[in-house]
Amino acid sequence: MSESIYPKRSPELVQRRAELAPEAATAFDAFSKAVFAPGALDGKTKQLIAVAVAHVTQCPYCIDGHTKQAKRAGASAEELMEAIWVAAEMRAGGAYAHSILALHAYGEDHPAD
């Protein structure tokens, strides 16, 4: 299956998106630049975080774009995979951690009830 449900990003679609909501697009671009600017964390670290989060949110556009940005910032393939594994553990860990809610609701914290 080579065809994706996601259209390819094109300059025309990017421009049209900005035309439809120019103030929001400008604000988002400024926000994005501020977030990814080097600060307490360097650019490579921020891009690795973005790659990990993109895998949790399952955004193919974000995975593609931030992986390329991470590579440009000097991230290795090994660093990318470690970040992705951290994301996978956190996603699975969230389900595991929240099992406490199900056990509590079921009454397992007070089995005699």
Q: Print burial letters for 41-64: b (CB count within 10 Å at least 16), e (below 16).
A: eebbbbbbbbbbbbbeeeeeeebe
**Res. 17 pLDDT band, cuts 50 70 90:** very high
- What tens digit of pLDDT does each residue of 38-59 get? 999 999 999 999 999 999 999 9
- Convert the pLDDT of each residue in 84-110 to its tens digit: 999 999 999 999 999 999 999 999 887
Mean predicted lDDT score pLDDT of the chain: 93
The one-letter code for the residue type at 71 is K
Domains, the chain, ordered by start: 8-37 (no CATH), 42-113 (1.20.1290.10)
pLDDT at 9 over 90: no
pLDDT for res 15: 96
